[in-house]
Chains A and B, each alone.
Chain A
């Protein structure tokens, strides 16, 4: 990898698919020291002082938006939150017009969540600010993928050779796509498990194993990443009923107790308790769901830091000036 002077990741973070294993490792390694900052009494470093970050959320989000906002504030950036409702978007302004207007007020970065796949890339190609994809349609949610990788690495001390199964609503899940790309690049083995109606048609082309029964997945896996059943995106009958879904595909304590080894449980949230995951699993000893949330802030700090600053034309002059 030859990191460019401006950023080792490039201008934007839109997806994990185009990143190399080295780039992903860099983000994970960079996140490590950022964990400590959130444990301090004064949870703030001056790194992004004077930078302005806009959180542009066209879809509902609590965890991701707040996680980004904490990350930005702990790096001393100035932040503005724009939600689709209550802004000019609700008057029919386009995504690009909204962003260009924000850019005219001199911003440095945009964190964007949008219901359409590809929205983040579309925006990134049209504005100069760094763009971070906080979830676009059913495409990718790269920072969630990265925080899942960090959480798995924290626990198993490795990703290479790890067996991870994504369970449930893979079809609608951008989290699943980011996880599949990220895990495979880091050398993990990936499987998916869910009703065929909730698996993408071309799932085999992604090079993942497919389990039709949750029991098989539990027997195989070191870790399960249990996906949220995205009821709001389901327009027609993907599943017979929630009760039926829980009975066949729910991750329950009884099923986990039959596993040959302890299986680590991840969930990107928000959970449908009693549907894809039972409460005694979500709150159980092998659940790292809240650890994921903690790691989310560190990962987002790392991404903001790695995308920030760095004007190559000034960098050479500054380097000549001396290092210490």
Chain B
């Protein structure tokens, strides 16, 4: 483990947090009626899938899940240039009148969520869109807030919050690292 790395959530806390988020989503939505859970590529997709599984355990209902890649809706193509990897958007559900919950790993500037809202609008007109994030690290540049937050973390601007998920990284954890370092 790198020296300048602080673990904010370990695997057990990570699991507890997701369970609580699933509860809060159900509470916020008043059940599973019309609910669609949409994860933002990449790690939001795995988190959405876990939350979906938790909801199934509680309510016995398979809520529709989707994936959203917002790369093509970013506002920084003219500055940063194209991202080398564009992920898949997979939204096979009718969104008109549904209650969509966007799931992402870290909420920071809010620009990703802004892009996700734009993209969702191209797929239909949901009755309501809510936002659930595992970590809110502050530092918003847009008037966007999360409805369900797993963990609030105060992080200096020269630090980065990394969410690791079993499916992609081999373990579940939330760690704070100095920018330019790799969380492993």
Contact = CB atoms under 8 A, between A and B. Distances in A.
Interface of A: 3, 5-8, 26, 29-30, 32-34, 36-37, 40-42, 44-48, 75, 305-306, 308-312, 314-315, 317-319, 322-324
A41 B109 CA distance: 30
A311 B81 CA distance: 7
Nearest to B88: A33
B38 to A, nearest CB: 15
A61 B67 CA distance: 37
Chain B's interface size range is 20 to 34
B73 A45 contact: yes
Given A309-B77, A311-B79, A322 B86 contact: no
Nearest to B87: A33
Contacts of A315: 79-81
Given A45-B73, A47-B72, A310-B80, A322 B87 contact: no
A42 B118 CA distance: 12
B15 to A, nearest CB: 24
Interface string B83-109: 011111110000000000000001111
A47 B106 contact: no
Contacts of A47: 72-73, 77
B81 A5 contact: yes
B69 interface: yes
A314 B122 contact: no
A309 B86 contact: no
Interface of A is mostly: loop
A306 B82 contact: yes
Interchain residue pairs A-B with the least CB separation, the first 4: A310-B81, A324-B108, A314-B79, A309-B77
A206 B82 CA distance: 33
A45 to B, nearest CB: 4
A131 B137 CA distance: 42
Contact of A7 (B79, B81, B122): B81
A322 B84 contact: no
B93 to A, nearest CB: 13
B82 A309 contact: yes
B31 interface: no
Contacts of B77: 47-48, 308-310
Contacts of A37: 72, 89
Contacts of A319: 80
Contacts of B86: 30, 32-34, 305
Contact of B88 (A32, A46, A317, A323): A32
Nearest to A44: B122
Most chain A CB within 10 A, of B82, B88, B119, B122, is at B82
Given A32-B88, A33-B89, A324-B108, A45 B81 contact: no
